[in-house]
Amino acid sequence: MKPIQRRASRYILALATASLSLASLGWAADNSQSEVAQRLSDSTKVLNEVMSAPDKAIPAGVIQHSQCVAVFPSTIQVAVLVGAKHGKGFVTCRTSNGWSAPAPLDISGGSWGAQLGGESIDLIVLVTDEKGLRQLESGKFRMGVETSVTAGPVGGHHMTLNADVVSYSRSRGVFAGTNITGSSITEDESEARAMYGSALPLSDILNGKAQPPSGSDSFLKTVENYAGETKAKN
């Protein structure tokens, strides 16, 4: 093969490789956005379903006094690893202008109630005060270390919110308060980039400095429907 032909072949090969790489990146981005959209939809569904039966739901006096509402649909305990639990979800917090855009989160570790290996469980986590909010904004929130956590009441029960975090779980259709002490909640930076086009500080999202992305309206309206519109008062 002549030198000019070899150079042309190498150029074509490099161009083809670059095109395939770009296509792969585009597919990965589309796939990530699709997963985010599905998880937002699942989070909305979980909240609607657990609140649909007032005698078995989160009491209005609890959710309406929460600073932030986080939903983690279909978290999983890995069958072969005892205690290896992981899930993804979203949180929105009250601001002076309504609920913030949803921020993607990871949750791992801790005790989420009785689970069989591989069984999925839905979690709802309510941050009740400014102390809990500040810890959440840090992007590394360890339950029970610098914050107090308690299993939330259900149905007609009422309680004084003397814990920074109130948590619930649903498994096999049974919804109840669960104590997630030992769990860690962290910012999901990769999904934040997928949602907002670039990495945004978690505090900026939760303080209302980010516009809600397309597809998040239903989730935010559902939270507002059950938790109310105005900024929570301590």
pLDDT score of 156? 73
pTM: 0.81
Q: Pairing between strand 103-108 and 184-187?
A: antiparallel
Does residue 48 sit within a domain?
no
Q: Which residues of the chain have pLDDT under 50?
A: 8, 11-31, 79-82, 114-117, 233-234
Does residue 1 sit within a domain?
no
Does residue 95 sit within a domain?
yes
Cα 46 to Cα 30, 110, 169, 195: the distances in Å are 24, 21, 10, 21
Cβ atoms 149, 181 nearer than 8 A: yes
Domain carrying residue 198 = 54-227
pLDDT score of 210? 95
Does residue 46 sit within a domain?
no
- Alpha carbon dihedral 227, 114, 72, 154, in 10-degree steps, equals -10
Is the sign of the CA dihedral 228, 103, 133, 51 positive or negative? positive
Secondary-structure breakdown of the chain: helix, strand, coil percentages, each rounded to the nearest 5: 40, 25, 40
Does residue 90 sit within a domain?
yes
Does residue 28 sit within a domain?
no
Q: Could you tell me how many helices (H) and strands (E) the chain has, helices first?
A: 6, 10
